[in-house]
Amino acid sequence: MPESILYALGAVVVVSLISLIGILILVIGEDRLRKGIFVLVSLSVGGLFGDAFIHLLPESFVRLESSMTCALLVIGGIFGFFVLEKILQWRHDHNLGGDETQIHPVGYMNLISDGLHNLFDGMLIGASFLAGTHIGITTTLAVIMHEIPQEIGDFGVLLHAGFTKRKALLFNFFSASLAIVGTLAAVFLDARVEGFSTLMLPLTAGGFIYIAGSDLIPELHKDKNPLRSMIQLAAMTAGTGMMVALTLME
C-alpha cells in the first residue's frame, strides 16, 4: 500500500477520535467550555483560511494548466457547500444550546448531517494526501481545528436532545468514523478518475473558504465585547500563523 494512503488513513483516524472530545464537557462543564469555545472557533477560521490561501490555492494553480479552470473549481467548492447546507438544513452551532427536557428528533438529524459532513471531510483529507504529503498534513490540521469546536457542539446537541452521555459519545464517534469511509472512497476514485486529487484541491479550498467565511465568522460577530473581539482576531492570526509556519518548514 502506498505511503500516501497509509498517511491518509492515519490522519483520518486521528480526526475521527476527535469526536470523543465531548468528554471535555463532562470534565470541565458546559458553562466554562462555552466561555472559551469562541477562541477555538477563531483559531479554526484562521486555519481554514490559511490552508486555503497559503497551501491549497497556490498548489492548485501550479497543477492545473488553466487558471480559469482552477478559479471555477474554487467557486464550485463554495457553491457545493452552500447546496449541501441547504439540502441538509444544517448549520454548525457552537453555543451548546438545546432542548434539555425530552428526546428530540434534532439529535438524529444532527447525526445524519454530521455523518455526511465527516464523509466529505474524509474525502478531502484522502485526496489531499494523494496530491502530496505536505498538502495532506496542512489540510488535516485545518480540518482538526474546525472539528474540535464542532464536535464539542455536536456532543452538546446530542445531550440536550435526550441522549445519555455514553450514547452521545458512542453515536458521535460512529458519525465521525464515516471520515474513514470518505478517505477510502477518495483512494478508490483516484485510481479510476484521472487527475482526481488535483481537481479536489481547489474544491477543498472553496469548501474551506465557505465554512470559515459564511459559517464561522458570523458566529464570531455575535459577540460584541471589544476585548473578546481582540482575542478572536489574535486567535485567527494564530491559526493562519500555524499554516505559514508549516510552509516555512517544507
pLDDT, one tens digit per residue, over 165-211 is 888 888 888 988 999 999 999 999 988 888 888 888 999 899 889 98
- Residue 153 confidence (pLDDT) above 80: no
Helical packing angle, 196-210 and 133-161, nearest 10°:
50
- Residue 30 confidence (pLDDT) above 60: yes
Q: Which residue has the higher pLDDT, 150 or 219?
A: 219
Query: Which residues, 6 or more positions from 136, have their beta carbon under 8 angstroms from its beta carbon?
Result: 4, 7, 8, 11, 125, 128, 129, 130
Residue 214: band (very low, low, confident or very high) from pLDDT cuts 50, 70, 90: confident
Q: What b-and-e string marks burial along 24-49, b requiring 16 or more CB atoms within 10 Å of the CB?
A: bbeeeebeebbeebbbbbbbbbbbbb
Mean pLDDT of 133-141: 91
Q: Is the pTM of this model over 0.85?
A: no
What per-residue confidence (pLDDT) applies to 113?
66
What per-residue confidence (pLDDT) applies to 102?
52
- Residue 101 confidence (pLDDT) above 90: no
